[in-house]
Structure 1
Amino acid sequence: MSRRKAREMAVQALFQLDFNAGVSNDEALNSVFSEREDVNENTRLYAKSLVEGTYSNLAVIDDYISELSKEWKIERMAGVDRNIARMAIYEMKYSQERLQPGVAINEAVELAKTFGTEESSRFINGILGSIVKNKGLA
């Protein structure tokens, strides 16, 4: 299983859910899965768990982000950045297999380099670092 691939697919599905009202988790995931042929079942299951877990904790995760990003309302953040941060917080705080903050932040920064803008990786690193520091997720 490739967790990196699972995270990539999960971010793509979360992005779809964020911008397409009425789309279900399964529809968003199936859309992403249909673009990839070589993904094994464990990777798909991990992507699904990331999407479902992030989405089910969305309100509290968004509160974490909003508290520490006073200059940016969450709805004004770039959609990719917002969803990468959401998923990283889910993995650090709510996932059954909680990731160490350093690992979660590193994975999120790498996703930001792949899917975001030039500034995305710095933004993700900063916001997640602040959350870890100020919310005691370490």
Structure 2
Amino acid sequence: MGARRQGRELALQILFSQDFSQNDRGALLEIVLEDAEPGAAAGQAFADGIVRGVQEHRREIDALIAEKSKNWALGRMSKVDLNILRLAVYELLFRNDIPKNVTINEAIEVAKKYGTEESPAFVNGILDEVASGLPEK
């Protein structure tokens, strides 16, 4: 697994943990790394950048997810799916170095690993909606 995939998985775990914890990003990163797969530290800087970006732009990201997710209020989404969407939407909006299709494919793969059986299709559908309104990178 590449460093960026590991970073996305670490970012997901940190974002998910923040929904239930008052710990700061650094403390959560240390906790997540303790239980992570060997070599996961290689994605640490990438994960930290994603988490910081999601935190900085969370209102904008959540508003866009809410707009594109027809019939699904954010509060009804699973926390795993919502945080996968947050990190992917951050990449789509603010990371010009990552092609849209790579972001979407990576989010789907992370959803397969951490979500439910329905998560990959759900994540794909919303991210396709988000990406369709964005210019090519």
Q: TM-score, normalised by structure 2?
A: 0.90
The CA deviation string for residues 54-105 of structure 1, in whole angstroms up to 9 with x for no partner, is: 121111000000111131111210100000010011111113x542111100
Structure 1: segments with no counterpart, 5+ residues: none
1:108 aligns with 2:104: no
Secondary structure of the corresponding residue to residue 34 of structure 1: helix
Match in the other structure for 1:14:
15
Contact 1:105 1:125 survives alignment (8 Å): yes
1:73 aligns with 2:73: yes
Match in the other structure for 1:136:
134
**Range 25-34 or range 60-69, more displaced:** 25-34
Q: What amino acid does structure 2 have at the position aligned with 1:64?
A: L
The CA deviation string for residues 16-61 of structure 1, in whole angstroms up to 9 with x for no partner, is: 01222x2211122111111136336542111111111112111100
In the alignment, the residues of structure 2 paired with residue 17 and residue 41 of structure 1 have an alpha-carbon distance, to the nearest angstrom, of 19
Structure 2: segments with no counterpart, 5+ residues: none
Give identity over the alignment, percent: 38
Match in the other structure for 2:34:
34
Q: What amino acid does structure 1 have at the position aligned with 2:90?
A: Y
Provide the aligned C-alpha RMSD in A. 1.7
How many matched pairs? 135
